Amino acid sequence: MATGHLLDTKTVNLNEILGNGKIYKVPQFQRDYSWGQDNWEDLWNDISLAAETNTAHYMGSVVLQSTTGKEYLIIDGQQRFTTLSIIVLAVIDAIQQLAKNNIEVEENEERGNILMRQYIGQKDPSSLRYSSKLFLNENNDGFYQNRLLIFKDPVNVRKLSDSESLMWQAYQFFKAKVAERNKRNSGEELAAFLSNVVGELMMFIQITVEDELNAYTVFETLNSRGVELTSTDLLKNFLFSLVAKSETDLKQVKTQWKKVIDTIGLKEFPVFLRYFLVATRKQITKEYLFKEVKNFVKNGQDVFDLLDQLEFYAYNYIALGNADDELWRTDKENRNAISILKTLRVTQWKPLAMVAAGKLENNDFTRLLQAIISLSYRYNVIAKLQTNEMEKVYSKAAIKLFRSEKGIISEILIDLKVLYVNDEDFKNYFALKQFNTNNSTDKKLARYTLYKIEAQEIGGTAYDFDSDNGTIEHILPESYPEKWSNDFTEEEFERNVFLLGNLTLLEASKNNKDAADYPFEDKMIVYKTSKYAITNSITDLNWKPQSIRNRQAHLAKIATSIWKIQY
């Protein structure tokens, strides 16, 4: 992580965070409190283990943005900060209850006051209310300040919002846990537990940054190391802040943002945003998404323009990943194309298709999808070439189409031609192609390949590779039977068993009962009765390594005519 992004990085505990006179604020538009019972139980178990072993527990990283010398925005860590504050309040409430029950009244009242000042905030001498050290977002802060901080029950629990209800449930959960712990009714022990265990042993890596751009950079760096962060929230905060002066604009932006997130899904949004930028602006890695958005979103109108585009492309993006989407309901050809592209496990084409879906006539869009299938099969599945170059080409074509008045399919195909593996190279790659059918991805690709070749052999699509009940038959059996050892050494078996030339289609009943691992001459009797042309057309008198190579070369010629683009 580049140190130029940071003001400070250090290891701190809760006492050091809350005992330094600083104010911490959750950004106004950050997501609401969302932790549930599993999270609460995990945290309490961690605290209990730390208490038993007297060893520190690492709580992960927190990212703070410095706004003034004494105030910080909690960019990442709000769920932990809020939950730990609720635990603090549960402990203080238990100590106050001891005083109300006439147990060490003066001592426990003083303990409660000291702990409130240390962890929660100073009491205002005029209003006698606490000036909080922690402020939550716009939806949660009212409940936190006006209920939890002054130990006041909600008027009607059923009327609480979902996040307020979770905060209240968390408070009740930790009050019960504190009560279980305090069997001896000792305020001294409770205060020691809070100060010496929760405050001292709960450790954080505190990362302090200068601005939201650097915060995002830190977010993405931590994300790449497997730390669960909410970088989407940071972008949301930035967009909302640009329209926050107008309640009407803010309400509209919130509604539109929610529509996009509901369509895409919170987890998927960063992927979608990157594809959108790749399709409309330039090729970009996920580490620079926020920086790129800040380059062109400067004011409220820019926010509306961006959200309009995101909403428009969100529906295309979702449809391109789901063959059952409503968009393809009456379009069998495109529905099948989307299903095949999912089988090929290639995604670099999506930015171009997102734009093309709104720019091309349906026939041209169908032609583009078929071309992408051929490109992907040749480039990714058979040749297995590097995908970095592929994304550059698709991005360039997408941006050109995005900026054009109307897309011309022939021009798009020419733009993609650099990715097209020529026939000679394709046949050479194909001649060596193996599909390890023990791997589910390879197995599905092998089925797709064999069924496409079968359709070509009989002059049309007869069977659906996804739904037909045919199985993949290994002519040279998948296990190495002794009866085949005269024709294949063990080394030859390893080299040939998963070659495509050794694979064919066979009815499930015939594969399980009649073919199995029998000698080749017995298998040939079964093959002649098969409904599949690529199987009953096998004419070899015996099956040896050269037979497999010959058949694979024959299949390569057929494949060349199937996965082909006419320019």
Q: How do residues 388-401 score in pLDDT, each as one tens digit?
A: 899 999 999 999 99
Q: 309 and 276 in contact (C-beta within 8 Å)? A: yes
Q: Which residue has the tokens 């005029």?
A: 126
- CA 462 to chain CA centroid, nearest Å: 37
What's the residue count for the chain?
567
pLDDT at position 226 = 42
Dist. CA 97–CA 187, nearest whole Å:
10
Q: What is the pLDDT of residues 124-169, one digit of tens each?
A: 666 656 679 999 999 999 999 999 999 999 999 999 999 999 999 9
Dist. CA 453–CA 500, nearest whole Å:
11
- What DSSP string describes 136-203? --TTTHHHIIIIITTT---S-GGGS-HHHHHHHHHHHHHHHHHHHH-TT--HHHHHHIIIIIIHHHEE
3-state secondary structure of 380: helix
**CA distances (Å), origin 406, targets 167, 316, 400, 409, 411:** 53, 18, 10, 10, 11
Q: Which are the contacts of 441, defined by CB distance < 8 A and separation ≥ 6?
A: 345
Q: Which residue has the tokens 């024709």?
A: 487
pLDDT at position 7 = 59
Dist. CA 130–CA 120, nearest whole Å:
8
CA dihedral 172, 174, 180, 182 (to 10 degrees): -110
pLDDT at position 477 = 92
pLDDT at position 481 = 78
Q: What residues in the chain have per-residue pLDDT under 50?
A: 1-5, 224-229
Phi, psi of 429 (to 5 degrees): -65, -45
Q: 8 and 210 in contact (C-beta within 8 Å)? A: no
pLDDT at position 511 = 74
Dist. CA 414–CA 418, nearest whole Å:
8
Domain ranges of the chain: 3-209, 228-320, 330-421, 429-562
pLDDT at position 130 = 64
- Cα maximum dimension of the chain: 102
**Residue whose C-alpha is closest to residue 345's, from 319, 373, 305:** 373
Q: In the Cβ-directed half-sphere of 261, how many Cα atoms lie within 13 Å? A: 13
